[in-house]
Homo-oligomer: A and B are copies of this chain.
């Protein structure tokens, strides 16, 4: 066995052991049925809910899995404490809106409680903040929120009812990776028409389920020392096993710009991503750098159009995805 083979074998072992030792996913049968129905609906070119891509080559329904929000890492099996990754889910929710506009069907794999598509301009507690009780014992939308609430409900309902948006919530790193695996295996049938847009903030470190304390960690004993191990880079498994033909975009977030570009470039090469979107924490709503094999592309928000940075970003990605599909056909 040469060293490359050895590395692969040992990665496979580690992956098997991660999934074997993870707590079982709740409702996995129900989840899997919903997912397969969604994929099937978008896999046949004749389906009337389908986006038929008018690019001359007759390629049809495209599906993107947008991941959004941060994962948690439990520190105790009967979970009281956990480590969380900061992410509002704004990037994923906004991008979902633009992918829907571009004709994609979207699987929105999101952290519970984070930002939802079409709801970005609403306050944190929309029900109690946007509505009021009238003298006629009815509830009504407060005038200042009237347009925002109306368009949120309209757009959201339309996407769900047309079967173009499937929303799947997660909380822990275990749930996220288990669901991503199921989605990858299910989307495989779509070939190059599948896309992964991995905007979720996935934990780098975790405590393996089996080495976790069963009960709550006690605080009397002075300082708390913890050892966390690195989360396996499932990107490589997604690319090589779960769905090798899908177009894959991953995200890097850092607070230091130099480290950011280095890491994005490393990720592109190491995991054979098609694009890596590099975000710097404080400027990420204004601009991002898209790192590709053929060079880096700066994508900036167009202030004159009052649009989001996700608008040119998704436009660029859709163009590259089209070229990728055409390239695969030939």
Contacts and interface: CB of A to CB of B under 8 A. Distances in A.
A46 B137 CA distance: 30
Contact of A113 (B113, B130, B229): B113
B124 A152 contact: no
Contact of A78 (B82, B133, B216, B255): B255
Interface string A98-138: 00000000000000110010110010111110111100011
A29 interface: no
Main secondary structure of the interface of A (DSSP, over half): mixed
Contact count band on A: 35 or more
Given A133-B157, A223-B229, A230-B223, A218 B255 contact: no
B80 A83 contact: no
A204 interface: yes
A149 interface: yes
A78 B201 CA distance: 15
A253 interface: yes
A61 B98 CA distance: 53
Contact of A83 (B82, B126, B131, B254): B82
B81 A83 contact: yes
Given A83-B82, A84-B82, A228-B223, A122 B113 contact: no
A225 B226 contact: yes
Nearest to A84: B84
A112 B124 contact: yes
B139 A154 contact: yes
Nearest to A230: B219
A97 to B, nearest CB: 13
Given A139-B149, A149-B139, A153-B131, A80 B205 contact: no
A222 interface: yes
- How many copies, total? 2
Nearest to A231: B219
A81 B72 contact: no
A153 B128 contact: yes
Interface string A211-233: 00011101100111111111000
Contacts of A75: 83
Interface in A149-182: 149-150, 152-154, 156-158, 169
Contacts of A139: 141, 149-150, 153-154
Nearest to A281: B78
A214 B83 CA distance: 18
In the A-B complex, list the 9 residue pairs whose CB atoms are closest, starting with the nearest.
A204-B219, A139-B153, A126-B127, A215-B255, A128-B156, A84-B84, A78-B255, A133-B154, A131-B153
18 contacts: A78-B281, A81-B84, A81-B86, A83-B84, A113-B113, A126-B126, A128-B153, A132-B153, A137-B154, A138-B150, A215-B254, A215-B259, A216-B253, A219-B230, A222-B230, A224-B228, A225-B225, A225-B226
